């Protein structure tokens, strides 16, 4: 394969990559955040999300179509991935709701993957079965999956580190409290014994 073919292959890979939108969003207590994507019927779509910070790391999720039909709804979820084909042309809405929280805001990391629109059936059969195109599409899908895994592993590592730090802080505070109680009990016993012998001496 010559240099020109490698360049052409790289251009094809970039052009065939699905549309990926990755976001971090902060959602206040009693609030809801929604996002939209306008696609054509038959387009494959995917929503991947994970709660990175806040409370019990849970959020309500809802996906609705242009006809207000609920495609997916989940309550108090920490993470997830939902894939579906667009059933009609129009805007699809993704909503994250923190209305069940009384005071704790949440930070959600999510990505919206929008695949290519369905191809025109009038295209030549030879183009449909082009092996090079199939290989490029497989490579693009693999790169997308690796990118998502790296992002979510980073978020999970940060969440777990935060949980460990909080646990360590509580252990240190509890140990400090136990030490104070032990010192107080020791001083109390010394004071009691001192007073007891002083009373005996007076008698």
Q: pLDDT per residue over 139-160, tens digit each?
A: 776 777 677 677 767 777 777 7
Domain membership flag for residue 95? yes
Q: Which residue range(s) make up the domain with 22?
A: 3-158
Cα gap 151→18, rounded to integer Å = 17
Q: Is the dihedral of CA 35, 38, 41, 46 positive or negative?
A: negative
Domain membership flag for residue 71? yes
Domain membership flag for residue 143? yes
Task: Give the per-residue pLDDT at 123.
Answer: 52
Task: Give the per-residue pLDDT at 20.
Answer: 52
Domain membership flag for residue 76? yes
Task: Give the per-residue pLDDT at 128.
Answer: 53
Task: Give the per-residue pLDDT at 113.
Answer: 82
Q: Please give the tally of structural domains in the chain.
A: 1
CATH for 35: 2.60.120.680
pLDDT digits (tens, 9 = 90+) for 17-36: 445 556 788 899 999 999 98
Cα gap 72→16, rounded to integer Å = 27
pLDDT digits (tens, 9 = 90+) for 160-174: 787 788 888 888 889
pLDDT digits (tens, 9 = 90+) for 61-112: 999 999 999 999 999 998 888 888 899 999 999 999 999 888 889 988 888 8
Partners of residue 49 on adjacent β-strands: 80, 110
pLDDT at 10 over 70: no
Domain membership flag for residue 192? no
pTM above 0.85, yes or no: no
Domain membership flag for residue 198? no
Q: What SS3 string covers the chain?
A: CCHHHHHHHHHHHHHHCCEEEEEEEEECCCCEEEEEEEECCCCEEEEEEEEEECCCCCEEEEEECCCCCEEEEEEEECEEEEEEECCCCEEEEEEEECCCCCCCCEEEEEEEEECCCCCCCCCCHHHHCCHHHHHHHHHHHHHHHHHHHHHHHHHHHHHHHHHHHHHHHHHHHHHHHHHHHHHHHHHHHHHHHHHHHHHHHHC
Domain membership flag for residue 72? yes
Domain membership flag for residue 37? yes
């Amino acid at each position: 394969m010559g240099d020109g073919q490698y360049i052409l292959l790289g251009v094809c890979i970039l052009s065939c990559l699905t549309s990926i939108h990755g976001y971090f969003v902060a959602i206040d207590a009693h609030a809801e955040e929604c996002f939209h994507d306008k696609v054509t019927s038959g387009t494959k779509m995917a929503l991947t999300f994970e709660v990175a910070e806040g409370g019990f790391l849970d959020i309500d999720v809802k996906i609705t179509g242009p006809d207000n039909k609920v495609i997916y709804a989940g309550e108090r979820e920490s993470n997830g991935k939902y894939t579906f084909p667009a059933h009609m042309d129009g805007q699809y809405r993704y909503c994250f709701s923190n209305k069940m929280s009384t005071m704790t805001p949440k930070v959600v990391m999510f990505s919206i993957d929008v695949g290519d629109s369905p191809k025109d059936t009038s295209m030549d059969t030879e183009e449909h079965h082009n092996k090079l195109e199939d290989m490029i599409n497989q490579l693009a899908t693999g790169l997308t999956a690796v990118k998502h895994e790296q992002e979510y592993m980073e978020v999970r590592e940060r969440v777990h580190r935060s949980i460990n730090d909080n646990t360590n802080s509580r252990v240190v505070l509890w140990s400090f409290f136990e030490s104070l109680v032990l010192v107080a009990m020791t001083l109390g016993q010394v004071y009691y014994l001192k007073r007891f012998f002083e009373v005996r001496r007076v008698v």
